[in-house]
Copies of this chain bind each other. A is one copy, B any other.
């Protein structure tokens, strides 16, 4: 199942190096030189296959979410509770994609629910979607609670919070950005999940 990178075509060697580095540390600085050196190619070659650093990082994200982790990680006992929840949230984000795909997803959402006249049907359709997202997150939280990984608390409240964070991250994927979305997204997810694990209740009153 493992690959010998040296047998791979250059483009894949570069991608493999970047993925490895990302795997070793999700916040790693995937600079041109660092990735090129790791892959054993020149910076020029890297630029040939990935015209900008953004293009490389977008591709890294796409592979991570689409190829490597497509199955539900909530039951992965090799991970801590926090890690499991983060992995699940990343799955929610995955369909929005990155780059042009993320922009398309945002456009769809906009055309469907923001632009048109706000009728009751429209509202109901959206609320149904939202409820589903809410339930999905609540489900994960309840699994973690059952495993004793997450302190008992108000999971509805926690899930609402996480969904707001996810909405923000999805929007940010569609907006322009420098090369730092990758680390920034990891950072935000980490802080949000930490908040949930430390949350001791205190619903809004």
Contacts and interface: CB of A to CB of B under 8 A. Distances in A.
B127 A178 contact: yes
B176 A172 contact: no
Contact of A161 (B107, B161, B188): B188
A4 interface: no
A84 interface: no
A114 B122 contact: no
Given A27-B205, A114-B175, A165-B165, 16 more contacts: A25-B205, A26-B204, A26-B205, A27-B203, A27-B204, A103-B115, A110-B114, A126-B175, A127-B178, A130-B175, A161-B188, A161-B192, A165-B168, A165-B188, A186-B204, A195-B195
30 contacts: A25-B205, A103-B114, A103-B118, A107-B115, A118-B176, A123-B176, A127-B176, A127-B177, A127-B178, A130-B175, A130-B177, A157-B191, A160-B188, A161-B192, A163-B168, A164-B165, A164-B188, A165-B188, A167-B168, A167-B169, A168-B171, A171-B171, A191-B195, A191-B199, A192-B192, A194-B198, A194-B199, A195-B195, A195-B198, A198-B198
Residue with the greatest number of chain B CB neighbours at <10 A, chosen from A168, A186, A199: A168
Size category of the A interface is: 35 or more
Given A161-B192, A177-B127, A110 B118 contact: no
A153 to B, nearest CB: 11
Interface string A152-189: 00000110110111111101101111100001111110
Interface in A68-83: none
A20 interface: no
A65 interface: no
User: Main SS of the interface on chain A?
Assistant: helix
A50 interface: no
B164 A184 contact: yes
